Amino acid sequence: MTQNEPKPPIHVKMKIGELEFEIQCQEDQLQATVDKILSTVTDKLKNTQIISERTSPQPRAETCKNIIHKLWEEGWFSTARGLNDVHNEMARKGYHYDRTAVAHALMDLVKENVLTREGPPRRYQYAQKRPPS
């Protein structure tokens, strides 16, 4: 591929509860597109009675990064944690993301100065850079 050739589009399949989506877009449009779908689905489920809260919990449409950010807000990162710890805690709470997605989300939060990363590669420990306010 030369520099002038456009990159091929990314194809993503998502499932939220009983709803399934397929997205095809350019890489730089993916985050905004996924966020828009998650927001729309969440709003729609809040405003309609598709799922009765008595029979089953409402599907949670959360990004990996948002879940990790909530862990930080809860003070969970007051102790340094490894990728495996974060992945297991998310699974315990019912969020099952690929370990690579968790690693990328952790790195994004390090870049945003929410978390700090210590230790040798492949054994990084993540801790809060600053306490939640």
Question: How many angstroms separate the Cα of 90 from the Cα of each of 36, 62, 97, 108?
Answer: 23, 11, 8, 17
Show Cβ contacts of residue 45 under 8 Å, excluding neighbours closer than 6 positions: 17, 51, 58, 59
Q: Is the model more confident about 39 or about 70? A: 70
* Every domain of the chain and the residues it spans: 7-61, 62-133
**Looking at residue 67, what is its pLDDT?**
95
The predicted model scores a pTM of 0.56
pLDDT in tens, 41-62: 777 777 665 445 555 555 556 8
62-133: what fold?
A: Arc Repressor Mutant, subunit A (1.10.10)
Per-residue pLDDT, averaged over 110-122, amounts to 94
